[in-house]
Amino acid sequence: MDQTTTRRKFLQAGTTLVAAAAAGAQPLSALASAPVDELGFLAAVDLAAMLRNKEIGSEELARYFIARIEQYDKKLNAIVVRDFDRALEAARRADSLMAKGQIAGPLHGLPMTIKESYDIAGLPTTWGIPEAAQNIASADSAVVERFKSAGALFLGKTNVPLNLGDFQSFNDIYGTTNNPWDLTRTPGGSSGGSAAALAAGLTGLESGSDIGGSIRNPAHFCGVYGHKPTLGIVSSRGHQPPGVPANPQHPDLAVVGPMARSADDLSMALDVVAGAHRLMSPGWRLELPEPRMQSLKGLRVALWPDDTMAPVSQEIVERIDLIGTQLSSLGAKVSDSARPGFAAKAAHETYLGILDGMTTGAASKLSFFDYQRLDGHRGGLRLAWQNFFKQWDVLICPTAATPAFKQDQGTLGTRTIPVNGEQRPYFEQVFWAGLATLSYLPSTVFPSGLSKAGLPIGLQAIGAEFSDRTTIEFARLMAQEFGGYQPPPGYR
């Protein structure tokens, strides 16, 4: 499906099923068979174009999304902080400016939501921590500022797990968020509310954060797109735990980045939010390289479908193999054995060491000397990845070990998930997030179709540092060739 069609063309065209790519499974390009007749499933670029072309007003669109939230979010519990009155005021201002021929930016009048962990002045920022339930932000985060400067308005904020530390999204303040594809399953974490709201058509655009797959994992579980940027290209000011002073630069490992229903949306959103941090802006400029490819033909693609460090369900392994076959038939150079020049176990241990220091706070046993040692090892890994990406354009690998699993709110340290009939440690699958996170690499998660059980399978496209436009463009080309986002049943 062409992700840039207007609503009118979208409604006229509808969508069709493509022949099955693998026996017994949903086809790689499986899309809904009936025409989609609701605005909630359009890409943000299409909604923004409709607003600019005056096919719809901002207030009209905001009221449309509010009605959908009120209709569908009772069972999802995705948008847990609602700011409808201020959103409608902003929408009316946007319509007034549009009537005068004044456009604030590429997102003029677009209603969106954002992860609860971002500061929006006047709204709570709790990170799901009960003791922070009354923590009200006094200023907007840098990302919110940039979205507003581009013309977007905020309907509210979406749910997270306690302290953003889970592959599920529940906490004692806001309760549990469910997956729109199956309400008994997790939407992922920690940007689970973001992904669920997008998938169900309750918002125009979203933004999450990621240190251990928190953008990528929910995008995979809910069948939407997510982009973990190269570290440092998007300011995380105003995205910090309650009580922690806003950092004008960026912490190690952790990034903030867009989530959406199309790769075009990711590209547009990244253009809006990427740029210098406040302290660096006097002398720092960002110039991301253009995509390495214009088509899938001639693309150099490495596949990493499975690893003993974190076994993956056979169905996901087969999906990656299938994509490799499809790409090869289109003229891409594909390898399932090419790897960067380092031991995966050593790299993962380095990631876990730094991650522990980042996430356990005062309880961490990581000394500054230990951090310096791990950071030195990471420097060698970054060089190895740099050499690897001289030979390959993208690396495709799993996002998590399985499709969305059943909700499990048992003791965190004792949880397991079933992988190929075997119970595996719950956090073992963070290995797949760490491949990109440790070495600052960009990673774009794209939908690849449904599992045999009818659940989304999203895969990572990882690229070289600062090749964010390449991984996003790859995701766009994949959607163009094989299909991308599809709405879950029951939301139209």
The active-site residue out of 190, 262, 443, 467 is 190
Counting the structural domains of the chain, the total is 1
DSSP 369-415: HHHHHHHHHHHHHHHHHHHHHHH-SEEEEESSSSSPPBP--S-GGG-
> Does residue 366 sit within a domain?
no
The CA–CA distances, whole Å, from 158 to 198, 206, 281 equal 10, 9, 30
Three-state DSSP state, 148: helix
Q: What's the token pair of residue 207?
A: 């933004």
CB 206 within 8 A of CB 194: yes
> Does residue 119 sit within a domain?
yes
Closest CA to 19 of 331, 326, 332: 326
> Does residue 466 sit within a domain?
yes
Catalytic status, residue 364: no
When pLDDT is averaged across residues 368-374 and rounded to a whole number, the result is: 93
For 299-338, what is each residue's pLDDT tens digit?
999 999 999 999 999 999 999 999 999 999 999 999 999 9
Q: Is the dihedral of CA 171, 437, 287, 303 positive or negative?
A: negative
The pLDDT value recorded for residue 29 is: 35
Catalytic status, residue 214: yes
The active-site residue out of 115, 148, 157, 228 is 115
The pLDDT value recorded for residue 363 is: 74
Kind plus residue range of the DSSP H or E element containing 418 = strand 416-419
Return mean pLDDT, the chain: 92
Identity of the highest mean pLDDT range in 194-203, 269-278, 359-368? 194-203
The pLDDT value recorded for residue 298 is: 97
Give all strands of the β-sheet with 225-228 in edge-to-edge order.
206-210, 255-260, 225-228, 443-450, 456-462, 394-398, 300-303, 333-335
d(CA 234, CA 203): 22
Q: What's the token pair of residue 393?
A: 């354009």
CB 289 within 8 A of CB 278: no
pLDDT band at 248 (very low <50, low <70, confident <90, very high): low
CB 444 within 8 A of CB 219: no
In this prediction the pTM is 0.93
The active-site residue out of 214, 235, 439, 448 is 214
For 374-426, what is each residue's pLDDT tens digit?
999 999 999 999 999 999 999 999 999 999 999 999 999 999 999 999 999 99
At residue 30, does pLDDT exceed 60?
no
> Does residue 387 sit within a domain?
no
d(CA 131, CA 148): 29
At residue 138, does pLDDT exceed 90?
yes
The contacts of residue 121 (CB under 8 Å, 6+ apart) are 137, 138, 139, 140
pLDDT band at 364 (very low <50, low <70, confident <90, very high): confident
> Does residue 489 sit within a domain?
no
> Does residue 11 sit within a domain?
yes
At residue 171, does pLDDT exceed 60?
yes
The contacts of residue 3 (CB under 8 Å, 6+ apart) are 43, 45, 46, 262, 263, 264, 265, 476, 479, 480, 484
The contacts of residue 220 (CB under 8 Å, 6+ apart) are 188, 399, 400, 403, 445, 456, 457, 458, 459
Domain that holds residue 413: 7-338+392-482
Percent of the chain with pLDDT over 70: 92
pLDDT band at 360 (very low <50, low <70, confident <90, very high): confident
> Does residue 80 sit within a domain?
yes
The contacts of residue 47 (CB under 8 Å, 6+ apart) are 39, 56, 61, 110, 204
pLDDT band at 26 (very low <50, low <70, confident <90, very high): very low
At residue 24, does pLDDT exceed 70?
no
When pLDDT is averaged across residues 353-358 and rounded to a whole number, the result is: 92
Supply the CATH number for residue 226's domain.
3.90.1300.10
> Does residue 371 sit within a domain?
no
